[in-house]
Structure 1
Amino acid sequence: MTAADPIIRIAAKGDGVTASGHHVAGGVPGDLVDEAGAITPGPHHVAPACRHFAVCGGCQLQHADDAALADFVRDRVLNAASGQGITAEEVLPVHLSPPHSRRRAGLHGLRTARGAVLGYREGGSHRVVDLAECPVLHPKLTALIAPLRAFVAAHGPKAMVGIDLTLADQGVEAGFSHFPLEGLGPTEAALDFAREQGLARLTFDQGYGPETIWEPEPVTVTLGGAPVNLTPGAFLQATADAEARMVADAAEWLEGARLVADLFAGLGTFAFGLRAESGRKVLAVEAEQAAHLACKTAGAMSGGQVLALHRDLFRAPLQADELNRLAAVLLDPPRAGARAQIAEIARSTLGRVVYVSCNPASWARDAAMLTEAGFRLKKLRPVGQFRWSTHVELTSYFER
């Protein structure tokens, strides 16, 4: 490196990359790195928002300001596209979720001789960071950290437990795993905890799936104005603001399409958002049975515009002749992408596709198949709903 080698970009795993190609942990664009590797902070280098940063494995980029974060999110998406020879006709502004907006969290707890530790794992380690704060979490989730730690200290096993938190319409759902409830005393203590903390639901998974021990009223999440049963462990977008942005993009791009399929629909996040257009019917296709049934029930109770189909789209994708009956499709697959389903879309006569993705690499691979079939990437929006992390998402619109 030269005496003052500038950081010019952030790599996929969060390291700064200098003009000479060296990777420097903790560097952001505008920083200068000397021959010994010391960083002179530049205009985009800020003080981390959390005392646990650099130890906790949850965030990698708290030292970057919003401009650098937005550039990182955008570049991850555009680089994935260009790697497949794809260029978007219009790249929309990056959406970044704000601090204190995450409505889902997966924590770990461990009872110790002095009490308990509770938090995320350290980066590259199984050790748990004992959280004193978490600036990404919604305040209602943050407020439970101390009570959860005390509960694990008093009643937890002498082994690591998992704690999943989700903010629902009725409040916070807490789900414990690897946490045996043996006897009346621990069960009563768990019920007292749920009551005192005002939980919407409390479940324990002792190896046979989540068992609900507390749920004063059915737990729901409102999607597109429809209350949908939030089944334990169901997928939910990490932040409400990113969900709203992605649904709004899809609704704009599919305006006028009267019969739409929402593929890999889950609970119906996009299906219920798209039903706002008068006269539209949305076929919500999902393989996971509990999510499918929740979507089906909510669809029937909210006017019948959303129709649910139980189908594994990896093993049995909608065929081209089935797709030909539709005006458009939306898909939001898991990280692996949707190679088999995309192949059928390419074979069909469909002219409009909205593809929402949580993995730019698999999206770009699938997008290449669409462009080979004559689709043009009309619009592309990078989305950073996992603030300060290297996890990047996107919405995209294809036409032919």
Structure 2
Amino acid sequence: MSHTETLTIERLGHRGEGIATFDGKSVFVGLTLEGETVIAEIEGNRGRLIEIIDPSPERRPAPCPHFGSCGGCQLQHLGLETYGRFKRSLVVDALSRANVNANIADLVFAHGAGRRRATLHATRAAAGFMALRSHHIHDLDTCPILVPALAPAPEITRSVAAVAGPCDVGFTASDLGLDVAVRAKGARPTARLTEIARQFDLARLSLNGEPLILQRLPVVTMGPSSVPLPVSSFLQATAEAEEVLASLVLNAIRGARHVADLFCGMGPFALRIALKVPVFAADSDAPAIGALEAARRNTKGLKPIAAERRDLFREPLELFELNRFDAVVLDPPRAGAQAQVRTLAKSKVKTVIYVSCDPQSFARDAAILIAGGYRIGTVSPVDQFAYSSHVEIFAVFYRNEQRA
């Protein structure tokens, strides 16, 4: 049974919610800041904000009219300095829990022009992101965190849902227009969906993984290459973040003659590395490897790229394979790269470059590398997921000379 109480917010949790103590237990209240006094309706360990009695001086007006109702953003009410400290603290806390000592740089902002990919949910009644702390969809008309090319996304999603019924619609802003991938249970190709693709001049419209209409092959520029996009392909959320991370990777491999890019995706790092040195690239995603190979064939001036489809969770590179390389780049999904890192920790690889999208799995893997004789350099948090509680991480690990 719920009840209303006056609370003092003591700190922010890792999801960006304010944490207060009531009756000896923690209560999580979204949309609040440290030091604020608020009135909240409490049910269990959750509190719904009703009123802010004493606001923090760090509070700022949200730039989006949907903030507080839409669940897509959690942090639009934070001032810039508080926001940067919070994102950095996600990395600090994760490394501390794993007993990893490292110098952690200030947050690198890489929002750029906005996110170039997004997935909206839809029924025949609404289209948008999920509502805050709800399983219902918050109906959107605009979203300021997306690149301008994705401005029509809510309208397109509504049009698709009117034909296909409840669905998820994935958008990617490619160099040649929008690549739209629809997931709708039981939906079948119809002339109306084709008409929608033409009405909005979509580069491609796919339904349940299969291209329905292709007006232009969607491509994205990655370093020196134009890369054809597979359906529902993965990209860094912002183009600026890709550039920032790639620059850090290239700086870290300077002097290396043999490089491996593991969990390489479509090659945002491999294609740039190949401007300098040969690279071995591996990923379990067959369409991504196919896109990388197509880009390699169509790009002049690259050193050799040996691309291989390989499940690095089940079949990590063995020692005899790893020891060929001076540097290894890792860019795994949220689960991290534990199996591969365990083998790396026993290897002679001099430099390990780690790009992570999850502080907890990164901290776990960092501890393994350090226990294996690596030294961790400065850790850089990179923010491409504006106003969310997610953060990207870049770090370099150096093999200690006595263990080389």
Alignment TM-score > 0.5, same fold: yes
TM-score (norm 2): 0.87
**Partner Cα distance (2:70, 2:61) in 1:** 16
Seen in structure 2, the aligned counterparts of structure 1 residues 8 and 354 have a Cα distance that, compared at 3 Å, is farther
Query: Equivalent of 2:94, from 80, 88, 91?
Result: 80
Matches within 5 A, 1:12-161: 12-17=14-19, 23-29=28-34, 31-33=35-37, 38-88=52-102, 90-98=103-111, 101-111=114-124, 116-153=125-162, 155-157=163-165, 160-161=166-167
Q: RCO greater where, 1 or 2, for CA within 8 Å and sep 6 or more? A: 1
Other-structure match for 1:11: 13
Shift of 1:370: 0.5
Q: Which residue of 1 aligns with 2:207?
A: 204
Aligned to 1:327: 326
Distance in 2, matches of 1:251 and 1:56, equals: 38
Deviation at 1:5, TM superposition (A): 8.4
Indicate the SS of the match to 2:345.
Answer: helix
Q: Aligned in 2, Cα 1:48/1:313: closer, same or farther, shift over 3 Å? A: same
Any idea what the Cα deviations from partners look like across 1:16-65, whole Å, max 9, x if unmatched?
A: 24699764432224x43268884422222111222222222211111112
Counterpart of 1:228 in structure 2: which amino acid?
V
Cα offset, 1:304, TM superposition: 4.4
8 A contact 2:110–2:244 mirrored in 1: no
Q: Distance in 2 between matches of 1:283 and 1:297?
A: 15
**Deviation at 1:221?**
1.5
SS of 2:190 mapped into structure 1: helix
Alignment-mate amino acid for residue 153 of structure 2: L
Q: How far did 1:148 drift?
A: 3.3
Change (3 A) 1:324 1:146: same
Q: Give me the whole-angstrom Cα distance separating, in 2, the residues matched to 1:258 and 1:192.
A: 51
Aligned equivalents of 1:104, 1:77: Cα separation in 2: 24
2:3 aligns with: none
Listed as ranges, the gaps of 5+ residues in structure 2 are 1-5, 41-50, 400-404
Q: 1:27·1:39 contact (CA, 8 Å) conserved in 2?
A: no
Question: 1:35/1:170 Cα in 2 relative to 1: closer, same or farther (>3 Å)?
Answer: closer
Confirm or deny: 8 A CA contact 1:84 1:368 kept in the other structure.
Answer: yes
Equivalent of 1:296, from 289, 293, 296?
Answer: 293
Q: Percent identity?
A: 37
Q: Residues 186-197 of structure 1: matches in 2 within 5 Å?
A: 187-197=190-200
Q: Which amino acid aligns with 2:310?
A: R
Change over 3 Å in CA distance of 1:34–1:304 after alignment to 2: closer
Residues of 1 paired with 2:183 and 2:153: CA distance? 17
| 1:146-185 equivalence runs, <5 A | 146-153=155-162, 155-157=163-165, 160-178=166-184, 182=188
User: How well do the aligned residues superpose, as a CA RMSD in angstroms?
Assistant: 2.3
Partner amino acid, structure 2, of 1:57: G
Task: Determine the C-alpha separation between the residues in 1 that align with 2:89 and 2:131.
Answer: 27
Summarize deviations over 1:236-256 as a string: whole Å, max 9, x none.
111111111111111111111
- Equivalent position of 1:394 in the other structure: 393
Kindly indicate whether the alpha-carbon contact (under 8 Å) linking 1:110 and 1:156 is maintained by their aligned counterparts in 2.
no
Aligned partners of 2:305 and 2:33: how far apart in 1? 45
1:339-364 CA-to-partner distances (Å, cap 9, x unmatched) read 11001101111110101111100110
What is the rounded CA distance, in whole Å, between the counterparts of 1:34 and 1:7 in structure 2?
A: 8
Amino acid at match of 1:72: F
Asked whether the equivalents of residues 97 and 385 of structure 1 are also in contact (C-alpha less than 8 Å), the reply is yes
